[in-house]
C-alpha cells in the first residue's frame, strides 16, 4: 500500500462534485469559479439542462434555450428537489452559472480512479459533454467537460 | 447348442465379440479426440437459445449493480464497476427486438470482448459451456428470425435442440453504429 509520502500530485485531479437529475456529476475544480446559494425567486440554467441529462423527450426543448429552474415538463421530468445551490463555471467565452441539486463538494481523485467512457457509451450517448467516470467506492460519478456542452448547445 | 427358444445361439465367444465391436463403434461416434472443435457459451433470451464463441466471453458477472447513464438509448442499460474498471451493459433483448420487458436486475451479465470492443451483455440465463465439433456447426437456416440474420453465423446442436450462434464483433459494431 502506498503511503501519503508516495502520492504524486501529478496523478491527482481535484473535482467539484454535485448532483443533477439524480446523478452525481463532476467537473474539474480549476474551471469552477465559485458556488453560491440561489435566492428563492432567482431563475437560472440548470445543470441537467446544460449537460443534457434529461430524457430524449425533454432534450429538444432544453436545447432550444435556457430553462428556468423548475420550468421543465412535469410529465417527463422528476420534481426538482429543493434546488438551492449554484456553481459558476469559468469557460472560455465567459461565466456560466448553473443550478445544481444537493451539496457541492471538492474532492481529489487519483488518476487510477478516472475512467474514459466505454466504447459503446461513447458511440451512443447523446450527452456529448459526458467524457468519463470517476469511481468513488463502488459508485461512478459522471465526468463532464463543460466546454463541449457550451459549444454544442449555446 | 440350443437356445431357450430352441433356436441356434451363437457361442459365448461370438456374443462377446459382437458386443465389444458394437461398443467400439459407438465410442468412435461419440468421442473423436482428433476432430477440431470450438467452445461456445450457451444462453437463453426470450425463450430462445443462443451462443457466443467461448473466446469472446471474458467472464460471467455475479449479481452487480448497474448505474444508468443519461442520454443513452433504452438498450444501453448503464455501466458497471468490475473490480475498478468501468464497463457498459447493453440489454440484448431490447437491442435485437426480442421482447420488451421490465428491467430485471437478477438476469445474468456476460462480459464480452470482440472486434476491439468490450462490454457487458444482459441475457436471461447462462445455460452451459460446451465444446462442439466444427463439423456439426450448420449454416444459419430459414428458421432463424429475420432480425437475427445479420448477426447469426451458425446453428450448433445442444441437447435435444439447437442454439443460434451470434457474431459478437458484428453485434458490437452494429450497435455502435446505431442498431437498437
B155 and B141 in contact (C-beta within 8 Å)? Answer: yes
Q: B111 with B168, same domain?
A: yes
- How far is residue A122's CA from residue B86's CA, in Å, rounded to a whole number? 13
pLDDT in tens, B109-161: 999 999 999 999 999 999 999 999 999 999 987 777 777 888 999 999 999 89
Closest CA to A84 of A46, A52, A49, A111: A46
Beta carbons of B70 and A120 less than 8 Å apart? no
Q: Which of A137-146, B68-77, B92-101 has the lowest mean pLDDT?
A: B92-101
Closest CA in chain A for residue B64: A138
Q: B49 with B122, same domain?
A: yes
Task: Please state the rounded mean pLDDT for residues B170-174.
Answer: 94
Q: How many domains does chain B have?
A: 2
Q: B79 with B154, same domain?
A: yes
Interface test with B, best of A63, A112, A118, A143 (most B CBs within 10 A): A118
Q: Which of A93-102, A112-121, B146-155 has the lowest mean pLDDT?
A: B146-155
- How far is residue B133's CA from residue A51's CA, in Å, rounded to a whole number? 52
The confidence score (pLDDT) of residue A81 equals 52
Q: B101 with B159, same domain?
A: yes
Task: Please state the rounded mean pLDDT for residues A90-102.
Answer: 91
Q: B150 with B125, same domain?
A: yes
Q: B104 with B21, same domain?
A: no
Beta carbons of A53 and B70 less than 8 Å apart? yes
B53 and B39 in contact (C-beta within 8 Å)? Answer: yes
- How far is residue B1's CA from residue B18's CA, in Å, rounded to a whole number? 18
CA dihedral B111, B96, A59, A153 (to 10 degrees): 70
Interface of B with A in 128-147 (CB under 8 A): none
Closest CA in chain A for residue B81: A138
Residues near A101 by beta carbon (within 8 Å), at least 6 away in sequence: A18, A19, A20, A21, A47, A80, A81, A82, A83, A85
The whole-chain average pLDDT of chain A stands at: 79
Interface test with B, best of A21, A119, A133 (most B CBs within 10 A): A119
Beta carbons of B72 and A126 less than 8 Å apart? yes
Q: Which positions in chain B touch A138 (Cβ < 8 Å)?
A: 65, 81
**CATH code at position B80:** 2.40.50.180
Q: B13 with B50, same domain?
A: no
A104 and A18 in contact (C-beta within 8 Å)? Answer: yes
Per-residue cell: A134: 470517476
Helix (H) or strand (E) holding A57: helix A56-63
Q: B75 with B116, same domain?
A: yes
Q: B68 with B9, same domain?
A: no
Q: Name the band, by pLDDT with cuts 50, 70 and 90, for residue B32.
A: low
Instruction: Select the residue of B68, B87, B178 nearest A118 (Cβ to Cβ).
Output: B87
Range of the domain at B61: 37-176
Beta carbons of A54 and B87 less than 8 Å apart? no
The confidence score (pLDDT) of residue A138 equals 85
Distances (CA, A) of A92 to A51, B35, B119: 17, 65, 35
CA distance B117 to chain A (A): 7
Domain limits, chain A:
19-153
CA distance B135 to chain A (A): 34
Per-residue cell: A23: 446523478
- Establish whether this prediction's ipTM goes over 0.90: no
- How far is residue B27's CA from residue B14's CA, in Å, rounded to a whole number? 20
pLDDT in tens, B49-84: 999 999 999 999 998 999 999 999 989 999 999 999
Q: B136 with B168, same domain?
A: yes
Q: B9 with B46, same domain?
A: no
Helix (H/G/I), strand (E/B), else coil: A127: coil
Amino acid at each position: 500500500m502506498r503511503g501519503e509520502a508516495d502520492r504524486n500530485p501529478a496523478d491527482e485531479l481535484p473535482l467539484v462534485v454535485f448532483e443533477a437529475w439524480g446523478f452525481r456529476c463532476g467537473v474539474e475544480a480549476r474551471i469552477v469559479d465559485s458556488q453560491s446559494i440561489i435566492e428563492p425567486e432567482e431563475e437560472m440554467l440548470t445543470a441537467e439542462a446544460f449537460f443534457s441529462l434529461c430524457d430524449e423527450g425533454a432534450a429538444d426543448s432544453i436545447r432550444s434555450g435556457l430553462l428556468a429552474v423548475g420550468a421543465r415538463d412535469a410529465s417527463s421530468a422528476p420534481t426538482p428537489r429543493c434546488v438551492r445551490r449554484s456553481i459558476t463555471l469559468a469557460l472560455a467565452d465567459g461565466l456560466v452559472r448553473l443550478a445544481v441539486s444537493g451539496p457541492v463538494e471538492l474532492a481529489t481523485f487519483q488518476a487510477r480512479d478516472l475512467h474514459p467512457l466505454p466504447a459503446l457509451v461513447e458511440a451512443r450517448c447523446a450527452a456529448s459533454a459526458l467524457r468519463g467516470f470517476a469511481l468513488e467506492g463502488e459508485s461512478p460519478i459522471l465526468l463532464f467537460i463543460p466546454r463541449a456542452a457550451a459549444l454544442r448547445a449555446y | 447348442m440350443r437356445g431357450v427358444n430352441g433356436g441356434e445361439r451363437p457361442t459365448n465367444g461370438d456374443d462377446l465379440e459382437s458386443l465389444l465391436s458394437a461398443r467400439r463403434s459407438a465410442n468412435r461416434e461419440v468421442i473423436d479426440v482428433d476432430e477440431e472443435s470450438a467452445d461456445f457459451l450457451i444462453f437463453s433470451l426470450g425463450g430462445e437459445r443462443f451462443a457466443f464463441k467461448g473466446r469472446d466471453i471474458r467472464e460471467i458477472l455475479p449479481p452487480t449493480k448497474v448505474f444508468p447513464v443519461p442520454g443513452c438509448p433504452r438498450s444501453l442499460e448503464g455501466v458497471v464497476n468490475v473490480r475498478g474498471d468501468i464497463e457498459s451493459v447493453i440489454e440484448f433483448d431490447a437491442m435485437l427486438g426480442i421482447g420488451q420487458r421490465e428491467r430485471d436486475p437478477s438476469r445474468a451479465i456476460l462480459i464480452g470482448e470482440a472486434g476491439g470492443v468490450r462490454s457487458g451483455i444482459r441475457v436471461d440465463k447462462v445455460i452451459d459451456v460446451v465444446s462442439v465439433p466444427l463439423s456439426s456447426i450448420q449454416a444459419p437456416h430459414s428458421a432463424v428470425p429475420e432480425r437475427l440474420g445479420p448477426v447469426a453465423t451458425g446453428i450448433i446442436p445442444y441437447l435435444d435442440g439447437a442454439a443460434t450462434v451470434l457474431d459478437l464483433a458484428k453485434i458490437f459494431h452494429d450497435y455502435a453504429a446505431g442498431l437498437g
